[in-house]
Amino acid sequence: MATAQTEFPPPKVLTYPASAPPTLITQGAEGRLYKTTHLLPDRPCALKYRPPKPYRHPILDARLTKARLSSEAKVLERCRREGVPVPAVYAMDPAAGWMMMEWIEGIPVRMGINEWLGERSDGEEEEGAAAAVETDSARQEEADETTTTPLVDLMKRIGAAVGALHRTGVVHGDLTTSNMMLRPPPSQGGQVDGGTAGEEKEDKAKVLEGDVVLIDFGLATQSMSDEDRAVDLYVLERAFASTHPRAERLFATVLASYKDTFKKASSVLVKLADVRMRGRKRSMLG
């Protein structure tokens, strides 16, 4: 029988014979994520499993697991109905602690941004991030180019995805670039090796191509509160600053795209300023 290659016992649903063994992708404090298949051997899916917690009373643990999985599934279904880019739910058994979802091909946004930044020198990235405030004429020419760079385009897509999420009445609860996937566009045929410098630049830009898909809704809630939405943005802003400090200034592009996508964004951004102030006070006080 197919079993996951891990020391952890897999959920019962993964112990039945299958064409390919499931693989443990990651483990968090509350659950594990496996890659397996759904119905067909060529249809990959993600299975999220919340194992029993021995430190909790069995009845309480079962109720919490069932409630959290059911809540996550409802949030995902609501987002799908409203056109928010999230994985589809294929099947679930809250009593057994698992939910099967669409497998999103691609790489995390975090990885894409870091790979893009790693391919550029510090001087080039500084020009890209600070171009809007440069006064030197040579730097100003670079500023005109940065308005269409792949990284700026990605920031716009991130802002649009978060705006669509908040417009639906859902707050993610753990917005980071690790919880966003870059789903690449369909293949456009064969590639030609040994291209020109311009073609090489386009190849590098492909790491940031694709649709931004939001994932991991374990902490998501349905909320219309500007405060909750602002906290969501603040979490993303702080995560962005710590994970991608070289591109931190481009977060303003995320907020601009968010505002263009979500009509009620203005009041959320006012709240965001308040949340930032509270965060600074906590940092100063320790």
Catalytic residues: 174
d(CA 125, CA 117): 7
Longest Cα separation, the chain = 69
d(CA 187, CA 205): 15
- Distances in Å between the Cα of 26 and the Cα atoms of 4, 125, 230, 243 are 12, 32, 29, 19
Residue 283: how many CB atoms within 10 A of its CB? 8
SS3 82: coil
| Residue 95 DSSP symbol | T
Sequence-ordered list of residues with C-beta below 8 angstroms from that of 273, at least 6 positions apart, any chain = none
Sequence-ordered list of residues with C-beta below 8 angstroms from that of 216, at least 6 positions apart, any chain = 174, 179
Closest by CA position to 221, among listed 148, 171, 274, 146: 171
